[in-house]
Amino acid sequence: MFVCGNQACGARWKPSEVEIRNEGQGPIFRCPQCGARNAVVGRTRRDGSLEYRQVQAKHQGTAAK
């Protein structure tokens, strides 16, 4: 489960509900509700499939609009 890092939003998303993209600074997803960028890291599971985990943003006060 991902949680939007925009404190005014805080929406929760399943990984299947967001689109992970790399905009040049590593993989991120944009919150479908408020558009804030949230950093994730990709990890390969033992079975070879890729899973993404959210990186906790600390005091990133600037939500992209």
- The burial class, CB within 10 Å (0-12 / 13-18 / 19+), for 34 is middle
9 near Zn ion, rule: CB under 5 A = yes
34 near Zn ion, rule: CB under 5 A = yes
- Which of 7, 17, 22, 33: binder of Zn ion (CB under 5 A)? 33
Give the C-alpha separation, 59 to 13, whole Å: 21
7 near Zn ion, rule: CB under 5 A = no
39 near Zn ion, rule: CB under 5 A = no
SS3 for 33-55 is CCCCEEEEEEEECCCCCEEEEEC
> Whose Cβ is closer to Zn ion: residue 11's or residue 57's?
11
Closest contact distance (angstroms) between CB of 40 and Zn ion is: 14
